[in-house]
Amino acid sequence: MLKIGITGNIGSGKTTVSRIFEVLDVPVFYADDAAKKVMVEDPILIDTLKSEFGNESYFDDGSLNRKHIAAIVFNNEAELTKLNSIVHPAVFRAFDSWAAGIKNAPYVIKEAALLFESSSYKMCNRTIMVTAPLELRINRVMHRDGLTRAEIESRNARQFSEEKKIQLADFVIRNDDTQLVIPQALELHKKFLTLSSH
C-alpha cells in the first residue's frame, strides 16, 4: 500500500484537497487531529509533556491545558521546537498503527501541515504540495478563522517557504483560483492507482 503525504502552507487548501481524495474513497489521516488526540491519549507523551512543561499542562479531568502550553511556546522558537519534537513521534506512531489497520486500499494519504519540517515525508512514498499565492492564503484564513494578518504571517513564517516545499514535493496542486483543483486531484489519483498496482 502506497503512503502519500499531502501538505501546504496555511490557507493553501490542503484539507480541501484531502477531502476530494476522501470522496474518491481514499483513506485520509489528518495529522493535526491525530496530534490533538495523542496529546490526551498517549501516556508516554502525556508524561513527557508534564515533565517538560509542568503538571499544569493538563487539567484534573485529563484534558490538555492549551492556553498554558501556548503561552510557553508562543514567540519562543526553542520551546516550540521542543514541543514538536515530543509530539511528532507520537503522531508518527499513530499514523503507523492507523495505516496498518487499513485493508484493501491501494493507497492512503497523510495530511500534515509540517510534513517536511517534521521529516515525516520520509515515511511516505510520494508527496503532494498544495500551493496558492500568499495574499490569497491570508484572505482565506482571515475569513475562515478570523485571525489577523499579523497572526497568519507569524504562523506562515514558522513553516518552510512554499518554494522550498515545492522543490521537496513530488507533485504540486495549484489552488490559486486559476486552475480547477478537482481535475488535478483526479490526475494524481490515476497516477497513484497505477503506481500501487505495480
38-58 pLDDT, tens digit per residue, is: 999 999 999 999 999 999 999
Burial class (CB in 10 A: 0-12, 13-18, 19+), 101: exposed
Instruction: Let me know if the fold of 1-27+108-198 is the same as that of 37-101.
Output: yes
CATH class of the domain at 37-101: alpha beta
Task: Show me where the domains of the chain are located.
Answer: 1-27+108-198, 37-101
C-alpha cell at 125: 512514498
Give dist(CA 98, CA 95) in Å, integer: 5
Strands (E) in the chain, as ranges, are 2-7, 28-30, 107-111, 126-131, 171-174
Task: Share the mean pLDDT of the chain.
Answer: 94
CA distance linking residue 103 with residue 15, whole number of Å: 23
Hey, CA dihedral for 172, 88, 125, 25, is it positive or negative? negative
Instruction: Report pLDDT for 157.
Output: 86
Q: What is the CATH number of domain 1-27+108-198?
A: 3.40.50.300
Whether pLDDT at 24 is above 90? yes
Mean pLDDT of 63-88: 91
pLDDT at 110 over 90: yes
Query: What percent of the chain has pLDDT above 90?
Result: 89
Lowest mean pLDDT across 36-45, 141-150, 151-160, 184-193: 151-160
Task: State yes or no: pLDDT of 198 exceeds 90.
Answer: no
How many other β-carbons are positioned within 10 Å of the β-carbon of residue 62? 9
pLDDT of 77 reads 86
Work out the pLDDT band at 14, boundaries 50, 70, 90: very high
